[in-house]
Structure 1
């Protein structure tokens, strides 16, 4: 295994560790809803971006998936949805400016990691893509996912009452 695959395995391990340490069992249903909804957003968006040739993921953890689906399965279906779960479950009760800062910090950190990986590894390659597109799409994805979560939570409270 090359360095890039070890990075993917390490990130998956850290993500699994985050699942067990940061997601309370009593909120597992909410976590599943967040995970599935974000995958509905990221799969078509990621597929579109890759098929347009704007971004490429040359190194995949599973080689066979690369011929059928050239998006990053690790990112689109696992890492980013788990980050979005943690984002929404721990969303602070703040006013508008605080929420904007929270969004920008999460998306900014995620964007910095992707840019670092793009510059130092072959895990991701930008063609007609730039860091600010990543920042914008991550913010939009987190926003849509969190709004859906708030709607779901409101409906869940009504059902329990």
Structure 2
């Protein structure tokens, strides 16, 4: 795939990420913002570790002289999707439904990454596999959700807990 097309894909991801922000309900915007910022901090650290230790690389990327990770993925797309994940999280559902919610988001992010790895120069697996992506997504989604629950522990619309008197 040509480098030019890779850049168009990156632009498309930015546009799609901005559009997703419009689907966050007004009453969940604070939750989404906290999830977005927390996810950025996680992906910044883990992305740097993964690249520096040679697990994967991003041959075509933005800010190539500044950072070896994918700015689009680590700082925009993944955090935005995590914000949406938390805004629509099924708080009152069963554990099975919650796990399926996690699994759906992890799978929905892993499949495009595998396709990008196979057909573009946007990501290249070195010592990485699709299941590594899936598990790392699961762990970081869980960490972000846990942080949001703790951050908003007294606000019942975000968690099952009610306000303390």
CA change 1:56–1:159 in 2 (3 A) is same
Q: CA deviation at 1:160?
A: 10
Name stretches of at least 5 consecutive residues in structure 2 with no aligned partner: 157-161
What TM-score, normalized to structure 2? 0.88
Secondary structure of the corresponding residue to residue 68 of structure 1: coil
Deviations 1:42-101 (A, max 9, x none): 1110000000111001111x3xx2122101110011000000011111011311111111
How many residues end up aligned between the 2 structures? 157
Tell me the distance in 2 between the aligned counterparts of 1:134 and 1:50: 13
Tell me the distance in 2 between the aligned counterparts of 1:97 and 1:27: 23
Which residue matches 1:110? 109
Higher helix fraction (1 or 2): 1
> What is the 5 A alignment of 1:121-132?
121-132=120-131
Q: CA deviation at 1:26?
A: 3.4
Tell me the distance in 1 between the aligned counterparts of 2:109 and 2:27: 27
Which residue matches 2:47? 46
- The 8 Å contact of residues 31 and 86 in structure 2, kept in 1 or not, is answered as no
Name stretches of at least 5 consecutive residues in structure 1 with no aligned partner: none
Which residue matches 1:36? 37
Tell me the distance in 1 between the aligned counterparts of 2:134 and 2:95: 19
Higher relative contact order (CA 8 A, sep 6+): 1
What TM-score, normalized to structure 1? 0.90
Secondary structure of the corresponding residue to residue 122 of structure 2: coil
Q: Of 10, 16, 19, which residue of structure 1 is paired with 2:18?
A: 16
Which residue matches 2:159? none
Tell me the distance in 1 between the aligned counterparts of 2:8 and 2:140: 27
Secondary structure of the corresponding residue to residue 2 of structure 1: helix
